[in-house]
Amino acid sequence: MSIIKKLIVVSVLVISAQSAAAQQFNSGIPAGWTGVGTYGTLGADGVVTLAPGGGSSYGYVSSYNGVGGVSPFGLGSETDGSLLRSSVFSANANDALNFSFNYVTSDGSTSFADYAWARLLKSDMTQVAILFTARTHPTLNIVPGFGMPAPDATLIPATVTINAGKNWSALGGDSGLCFSGGCGNSGWVSASYNIASAGNYMLEFGVTDWADNAYSSGLAFDGITVAGNPITPVPEPEIYAMMGIGLGLMGWVGRRRKLQTA
Q: Mean pLDDT of residues grouped by 10 in the chain (262 residues)?
A: 41 39 79 97 98 95 98 96 98 98 97 98 98 96 96 98 96 97 96 98 98 97 96 68 47 47 51
Peptide bond into 157 cis (omega under 30): yes
pLDDT score of 218: 98
- Answer yes or no: do 112 and 241 share one domain: no
pLDDT score of 97: 98
- Answer yes or no: do 220 and 245 share one domain: no
- Answer yes or no: do 113 and 138 share one domain: yes
- Answer yes or no: do 151 and 100 share one domain: yes
pLDDT score of 42: 98
Structural domain including 203 reads: 29-230
pLDDT score of 235: 82
pLDDT score of 228: 94
Q: Structure pTM?
A: 0.84
pLDDT score of 22: 40
- Answer yes or no: do 95 and 70 share one domain: yes
- Answer yes or no: do 1 and 98 share one domain: no
Q: Pick the closest to residue 35 from 219, 217, 225, 228 (CA basis).
A: 219
pLDDT score of 236: 60
- Answer yes or no: do 256 and 189 share one domain: no
- Answer yes or no: do 136 and 155 share one domain: yes
- Answer yes or no: do 41 and 16 share one domain: no
- Answer yes or no: do 216 and 189 share one domain: yes
The CATH number of whichever domain residue 40 belongs to comes to 2.60.120
Return the exposure string of 199-226: e unless at least 16 CB atoms fall within 10 Å of the residue's CB, then b.
eebbbbbbbbbbeebebbbbbbbbbbbb
Q: Quote the number of domains for the chain.
A: 2
- Answer yes or no: do 221 and 112 share one domain: yes
- Answer yes or no: do 16 and 48 share one domain: no
